[in-house]
């Protein structure tokens, strides 16, 4: 199950993400927002991130205008590693090295074609499992 969260700036791109996930036969839970009416990205970023942190969803996709505000929000929640990606190399590396569990996209920066390629890369790349990366991920949670 993939958790989805966006604000008004990310709403249109999120509709493309949903259609793409449906085409791939992947289940998602949409935590809103549900229209292009102006809203506050932390509200929806938190809901989606909490679903991933609790284990209700394995991964998540977050979208706002830049991807910045919503990724900052998600990364405040313990256990969330949200990566803002504007290219496929970053999406691949953040799965392999950081075991990122949420992908953030900036809808005003990244066009839909590239965004969906980034999404596929993120979803299809496994964590490397290498000791040095696991060690560094554990250090993130240390005080």
> Which residues, including other chains, have CB under 8 Å from residue 123's CB and lie 6 or more apart?
2, 26, 59
Paired with 111 in beta bridges are: none
Of 79, 2, 78, 84, the closest CA to residue 41 belongs to 84
- Catalytically annotated residue among 64, 85, 88, 133: 64
Q: Is 97 a catalytic residue?
A: yes
Distance CA 77, CA 36 (A): 26
User: Pattern of binders to ligand RB5 over 23-42, x per CB under 6 A?
Assistant: ------------------x-
Q: Is 8 a catalytic residue?
A: no
Touching ligand RB5, residues 43-82 (CB under 6 A): 64-66, 68-69
Size of the site for ligand RB5 (CB under 6 A): 8
What is each CA distance from 85 to 27, 54, 91, in whole angstroms?
22, 23, 6
Residue of 9, 42, 45, 60 interacting with ligand RB5 (CB under 6 A): 9
Give least dist CB 127 to ligand RB5, A: 27
Binding to ligand RB5 by residue 7, rule CB under 6 A?
A: yes
Beta strands 2-6 and 28-30 are parallel
Catalytic site positions: 64, 97
Interacting residue ranges for ligand RB5, rule: CB under 6 A: 7, 9, 41, 64-66, 68-69
């Amino acid at each position: 199950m993939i958790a989805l969260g966006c604000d008004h700036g990310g709403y249109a791109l999120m509709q493309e993400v949903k259609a793409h996930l449906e085409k791939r036969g992947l289940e998602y839970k949409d935590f809103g927002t549900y229209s292009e009416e102006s809203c506050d990205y932390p509200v929806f970023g938190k809901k989606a991130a909490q679903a991933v942190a609790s284990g209700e969803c394995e991964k998540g996709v977050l979208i706002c205008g830049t991807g910045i505000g919503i990724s900052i929000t998600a990364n405040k929640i313990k256990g969330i590693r949200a990566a803002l990606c504007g290219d496929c190399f970053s999406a691949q590396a953040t799965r392999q090295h950081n075991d990122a569990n949420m992908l953030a996209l900036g809808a005003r920066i990244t066009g839909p074609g590239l965004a969906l390629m980034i999404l596929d890369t993120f979803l299809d790349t496994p964590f490397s499992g290498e000791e040095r990366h696991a060690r560094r991920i554990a250090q993130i949670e240390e005080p």
